Chains A and B, each alone.
Chain A
Amino acid sequence: MDFGFTQDQQYLIARVDKLVQERIAPRAAQHDQDYEAPVEDFEDLFREGWLLANLDKKRGGLGYGLHGDDPLSFFLIDEHLAYGNPSTAHCFQVHNNALMMIDAMANDEQIQRWVEPTVKRGALIPGAGAEPYGSPPTMAKRVKDGYLVSGTKHYATNEVWRNGSGSVGSLRTHMQSRSCS
């Protein structure tokens, strides 16, 4: 089947597949067995530059994602990561969807503050939802200089990566210290 990929997309797919076959898929069973976040996978993804997939090129990103120059490439990376480890793919897409929202809605100061840790250290950005649909919503009450927020959010994917400085390195330290305690 010809899916009409561009040459750049075919090259990207080949790079992702190589990483998945050589590194991500062989580690997946052990991460699953140990209930451990795939730290090494994200060290690899950081090194490849794919943690900035959905950031605008003008800001140093790859310009993928729905609002980017090449919308499809983000989804191709995600699909091909899932082939080796769906957990890694999910952490990856939550991070890059959050990055896409920040890119579209944040002001320059916020982008500097929130994206810089990813640029420098591979920090992952969390996301969260709530279920079931129609359950009591999370509420925000206006107060002086901000909001007071109350509620319960489920599936705060990547939140664990925010321990310490929120980087891949700090998660490794966190996981090691947890396993020693």
Chain B
Amino acid sequence: MRACISPWLYLEDSFVPDENLLGAPGQFLGENWMGKINFAFTANYLGSARAIYDWALAYVCDRGGAKDLYRQLRFGELKSMLDASRLTLYSAVRMFKVDSDGAMIAAHEAKWMAKETLQKIMWSAAEVCGSTSLFQKYPLERFYRDMHLHMMHDRHDVAAQIVGASELGEPYDVNRTH
């Protein structure tokens, strides 16, 4: 994500005055703010997935590949996954006011599903379009670079583990997914 300039910060006894403290000690984790941040990552995955999907669909139609049964199958799979992932995210967000604990679990379902969907769309889009679609003159190349990086969290699968822990009645920590 070359346009998203994000430097490293090296802090060595950096003084933070009391008037710059945000909230009370422990409030950030206690109110699950790390978990809440995940919702927006999911939205980014799904917007990018739609962009890749729409581009591939137009490309295949333009190249005369719409009547091919293999491509019809792939686009059917991708469309189903994309819609289901979007619905899961929207449902999780809508739940938040009435059942915030349930919404946090649903948000982790949504994040895991969004990543699976995005990976599938990235792979399948290149397959149905052909590898020339990844040449630099097409936007697919930039989306592939950006999304490979943006999905690369070593704790990503913990999202699914949290959902599983909830299902099994075991303790979990929604702040551990990012």
Residues of A close to B120: CB separation below 8 A = none
User: In angstroms, how far is the closest chain A Cβ from the Cβ of B15?
Assistant: 6
Residues of the B chain whose Cβ atoms lie less than 8 Å from the Cβ of A100: 36
B70 within 8 A of A: no
Find out whether the CB atom of A66 lies under 8 angstroms from the CB atom of B93: yes
Tell me the residues in window 126-159 of chain A with beta carbons closer than 8 Å to chain B beta carbons.
Answer: 128-129, 131-133, 138, 140-141, 143, 145-159
Assess whether A81 is in contact with B3, with CB atoms less than 8 Å apart. no
Task: Pick from A37, A80, A154, A160: contact of B47, CB below 8 A.
Answer: A80
Stretch at the interface among B58-66, B147-155, B162-170: B147-155
Pair B11/A152 contact, Cβ less than 8 Å:
yes
Q: Which residues of A contact B3 (CB under 8 A)?
A: 28, 31-32, 35-38, 85, 87-88
Residue of A nearest to B51 (CB): A83
* Complex Cα spacing A96 to B20, Å: 19
Q: A14 contacts which chain B residues (CB < 8 A)?
A: none
Chain B at the A interface: SS class:
helix
Closest to A88 in B: B3
- Whether A72 contacts B94 in the complex (CB less than 8 A), given A86-B47, A149-B16, A150-B14, comes out as yes
- Closest chain-A Cβ to B62's Cβ sits at a distance in Å of 18
With a cutoff of 8 Å between Cβ atoms, the chain A residues found around residue B86 in the complex are 1, 3, 79
Which A residues touch B153, using CB under 8 A?
131
Cross-chain contact A71 with B96 (CB below 8 angstroms):
yes
A84 to B143 Cα, complex, angstroms:
10
**Contact partner, B139, options A28, A36, A143, Cβ 8 Å:** A28
- From the candidates A35, A149, A157, name the one contacting B11 in the complex (CB within 8 A): A149
For window 91-148 of A, CB contacts with B under 8 Å fall at 91, 93, 96-97, 100-102, 104-106, 109-110, 128-129, 131-133, 138, 140-141, 143, 145-148
Kindly state whether residue A75 has any CB partner on chain B within 8 Å.
Answer: yes
Further pairs besides A29-B139, A155-B6: 12, Cβ < 8 Å? A35-B2, A38-B3, A66-B36, A71-B94, A75-B42, A75-B93, A78-B47, A80-B47, A105-B23, A150-B13, A152-B9, A157-B5
